[in-house]
Chain A
């Protein structure tokens, strides 16, 4: 099975900061990677699919890149609504352990 890891596990940042989260796969997965955002007590929301395609209605400050085994999610200017947990996922299968983005 493909193993997904994320770093960091927790990220403390301020409004306006540029934030980058990394996701690594244990073997090459091409561009079959999605990013999801989840807030406490709520269902997740898809942000990015196929590594770099931004889901409809997702703000343009979110972007994704990478292929093969290393991927990144970037928030260009962190907003108050962005404090949440972020998960990467391989192609409708395995999730990373999540990255909590909290307020510095």
Chain B
């Protein structure tokens, strides 16, 4: 059974810092991994999708890496801004399926 853990649960940083969010999963037989952003009272927005054959994906100031063998992914945010404040969730499919299991998220607050 796939289990997804995100550390830390909450993070508060001053503006401009580079930061890393962590996601670990128990079953490495996955097709892909997604990182989402969720703003308060809103739905989820997909940030990055990494296929199982890829090691990383980049979009602007965001870089996500995937290490299937160790069951880990990291989301790197460069030069953080107050607008980056949100909850970041990673989602991993259960083995052999496309049914996503979500972590509990990391609540990020970037202070101006």
Question: Is this pair of chains taken from one and the same complex?
Answer: no
Residues of chain B touching chain A, judged by Cβ–Cβ distance below 8 Å, are none
